[in-house]
Amino acid sequence: MPRPVPPRSPAAPLLADLPIEGGSVSFLVHEWCAGSALTAADITPELAEWVGRTLAALHSLPLDVRPAEAPSDAVHSVDEWRDWLDDAAGDTAPDFVDSVRVHLPDVARATEIVAAALVRVGDGPTPVLTHRDLKPDNVLRTSGTPILVDWDGAGLDVAEWEAVRAASAFRRAAAGAGPALLPSAGPDSGGSAIGLDSAGLDSTGLDSTGSDSAGSHLAGSAAMRSAAAGNVDVFSRVLRSYTAAGGRRIAPTAEAFAGLLRTQLGGAAWMLFRALGHRPVTPPERAAAHEHALELLADLHTSLTEIPTWTRWLAETHDPA
């Protein structure tokens, strides 16, 4: 990771106060790292193994926390989703509301999986203090070792969930599917302690009515599945390297993917709140929220469809045929 640069006269540990436009603004400063963003070609077997080792090293750090303090924030129930749709602002496009309703069975299934996994936190999954967002666009390729950046969201997570999320993200990128629009940890989450990475929210691609069809998004999701299915080797290498470096072996169950489902549910819920007029946002922001809510729900549909395949991959990672 980039090393923090202590200021000469700190107002707080590692914070530097600089005068900007007549006021004082605090910055957290890190050393400059010369590097470039990863491409699909950069996701080699060696990089996949580095990801696994890095996760294992992070997850081995001592954590002074009781099991009850592990990440356990429940996602919103499907009944809450229905209430949000029923209470949508009067200018919300009916087609958009109908498109979201198509996804409610997926929301119900995903919340069941997350709820079942959370009940077992403390017995099974391992609470850790970690990066929480290890994915290709947070890794710099340098002349030496790769560097993991964007530590602003570091905090409590479940080790097994982060390992599976990372393995899935690097597999998708290696297959040329590009970075997933996945939420990252953040304080402003609409109730589920899951925020959304602002880097993924820089365009709308949708008119101000927000109308679109769930069918077109599901078709896009099918294309994503086809592209993402390609590189199982990266997925397996990340997790084998993780286990070899001391990470816990991950049971091949649907609950292993609860962390991924939780982030998709949390991000979709937050975007839906904005799209339905339940949050004060500008018209362009609301239009963007329409699109991103449906994108995240389509990704959720993809995840639920693919979980049986991913579970088989998990089993084969440690017990190849």
Average of per-residue pLDDT values in the chain: 80
Same domain, 310 and 183: yes
pLDDT tens readout for residues 290-319 = 999 999 999 999 999 999 999 999 999 977
pTM score over 0.85: no
Residue 233 has pLDDT above 80, yes or no: yes
Residue 269 has pLDDT above 80, yes or no: yes
Confidence label for 209 from pLDDT (cuts 50, 70 and 90): very low
Q: Are the C-beta atoms of residues 185 and 278 closer than 8 Å to each other? A: no
- First-to-last alpha carbon distance for the chain, in angstroms, is 37
Residue 230 has pLDDT above 90, yes or no: no
Same domain, 23 and 138: no
Q: Are the C-beta atoms of residues 269 and 192 closer than 8 Å to each other? A: yes
At 194 the pLDDT is 29
Same domain, 8 and 62: no
Average pLDDT over residues 136-149: 93
pLDDT tens readout for residues 236-254 = 999 999 999 999 999 999 9
Same domain, 168 and 239: yes
Average pLDDT over residues 139-163: 91
210: domain CATH number? Answer: 3.90.1200.10
User: CB neighbours (10 Å) of residue 277?
Assistant: 16
* E strands, the chain, in order: 15-20, 23-28, 36-37, 127-130, 139-141, 147-148, 155-158
Residue 98 to residue 80: CA distance in whole angstroms: 16
Residue 51 to residue 238: CA distance in whole angstroms: 6
Residues 6+ apart with CB under 8 A from 129: 61, 63, 65, 154, 155, 156, 157
Residue 255 to residue 245: CA distance in whole angstroms: 23
Average pLDDT over residues 266-282: 94
Same domain, 210 and 244: yes
Q: Are the C-beta atoms of residues 127 and 158 closer than 8 Å to each other? A: yes
Domain holding 8, by residue range, is 1-32
pLDDT tens readout for residues 174-199 = 988 654 444 443 333 333 332 333 32
Same domain, 40 and 117: yes
